[in-house]
Amino acid sequence: MYSATVRRQALDLINHGTSLRSVSRSIGVNRTALREWRDHLEKAQATRSDCPRCGDERTLPEPRADYAYLLGLYLGDGCISAGGDPAKGVWKLRVICADAWPGLIQECVRAMQAVRPLNKVMLQQKQGCQEVSSYSRHWPCLFPQHGPGKKHLRRIELQPWQRAIVAEFPGEFVRGLFHSDGYRGVNRVRRVLADGDHWYAYPRYLFSNKSKDILGLCGQALDRLGIEWRFARPDVISVAKKRAVARLDEFVGPKY
Ligand SMILES: [Zn+2]
C-alpha cells in the first residue's frame, strides 16, 4: 500500500509529463501501480468533464436561456480570475450584486447554478453587496471573452456559437446586461413655456458600460428585439420611448 501523499506526488509528476519510468525511479512506486493510478484518473476526469465546449463533441451550453442571461451579467459586470494557484487551471467567475436587489442576487445564483450544475455557487457578503461566485475549470471555455486586463481595454467579440444563442434568446441577454450594468428609473425634464416651468417625468432604461464593444452588443440585441434606443452619452445607452420602455418592462423590469 502506498500513502495518499505518495500517490498524489506521483500523479502530479505524471500530469506534468514525467514518464512512468522516471516517476517510478524517483519515488519508488512500481510501474504497474502508477499505470493504474494514471488510467483511473483519466477515466475519472473523462466522466467529470461535462463541459460542452472542450469535449470531443462540441455542443452549446444548456439551458441556453440561462446561459444568455449569465453572458449578459458577465459582460456587464462579471469577471473571471484564477481560483487559487493558476497552475491548477481552476477559474472563478464572480458577479457582484448590490444588497439592494435581493431578487437579482437570486437570479444570478440560479443562472450560474443552472449553467454549471456540478459546481457549487457561493455567496460572500461584501460592503453593500454580495459576491456571487463559482469555481470551474471551464469558465474560460464558456466565456472565451476572458482575457488579461479590463474588458473595456480589449476587444470583446462573441464567438459564432455565442451569437447563435444570443440570436435565439436576445431578451435574456439584454436582461442580463441591464440587470448588471443597467437601471430603470424616472427621468424628469423641465420645459420652460410661456406660462412658466413645466416638469415631465417618464420612465427610461439606461445601460452604461465603458466597453464600446459591449455597448454595441447591447444595441444589436435591442435592434433584434425591435426596441428603439439611442446613446444618451458615448458610454450610456438609453431606452426612453414609451413603446420601447413597455417592451423592456415585459422581460427586464425594474431591479428588485
Ligand atoms: Zn471546457
CA 56 from centre of chain: 23
Q: What is the pLDDT of residues 62-107, one digit of tens each?
A: 999 999 999 999 999 899 999 988 888 899 999 999 888 899 999 9
Which pLDDT belongs to residue 1?
A: 67
Which pLDDT belongs to residue 47?
A: 47
pTM equals 0.78
Which pLDDT belongs to residue 163?
A: 97
**How far apart (Å, rounded) are the C-alpha atoms in residues 88 and 199?**
59
List CB contacts of 64: < 8 A, sequence separation 6 or more: 165, 168, 169
Give the angle subtended at the CA of 183 by the CAs of 178 and 184, to the nearest 5°: 110
CA 163 from centre of chain: 15
In the chain, the DSSP E strands lie at 78-82, 91-98, 121-126, 129-136, 182-193, 196-208, 230-233, 236-239
Which pLDDT belongs to residue 45?
A: 53
Which pLDDT belongs to residue 133?
A: 97
Which pLDDT belongs to residue 42?
A: 60
**Which 3 state secondary structure label does DSSP give 172?**
helix
Q: Given strand 91-98, what is the order of strands in its sheet?
A: 78-82, 91-98, 129-136, 121-126
Query: How many angstroms is it from 95 CA to the middle of ligand 1?
Result: 20
Query: How many angstroms is it from 56 CA to the middle of ligand 1?
Result: 10
Which pLDDT belongs to residue 12?
A: 82
Q: Is the dihedral of CA 96, 217, 107, 209 positive or negative?
A: positive
**How far apart (Å, rounded) are the C-alpha atoms in residues 202 and 186?**
5
Long-range CB pairs of 91-94 (<8 Å, 24+ gap) are 91/135, 91/136, 91/137, 91/138, 91/139, 91/140, 91/146, 92/133, 92/134, 92/135, 92/139, 93/133, 93/134, 93/136, 93/139, 93/143, 94/131, 94/132, 94/133
H or E element at residue 103: helix 102-115
**How far apart (Å, rounded) are the C-alpha atoms in residues 15 and 10?**
9
* C-alpha cell belonging to residue 223: 435592434
Query: How many angstroms is it from 50 CA to the middle of ligand 1?
Result: 8
Which pLDDT belongs to residue 4?
A: 73
Query: How many angstroms is it from 172 CA to the middle of ligand 1?
Result: 23
Query: How many angstroms is it from 234 CA to the middle of ligand 1?
Result: 36
Query: How many angstroms is it from 62 CA to the middle of ligand 1?
Result: 13
Which pLDDT belongs to residue 71?
A: 98
Query: How many angstroms is it from 134 CA to the middle of ligand 1?
Result: 15
Query: How many angstroms is it from 244 CA to the middle of ligand 1?
Result: 38
- Helix-helix angle 64-77:160-168, to 10 degrees: 110
Longest CA span, the chain: 96
Beta strands 121-126 and 196-208, pairing class: unpaired
Q: For residues 92 and 133, is the Cβ–Cβ distance under 8 A?
A: yes
Low-confidence residues of the chain, pLDDT below 50? 46-48
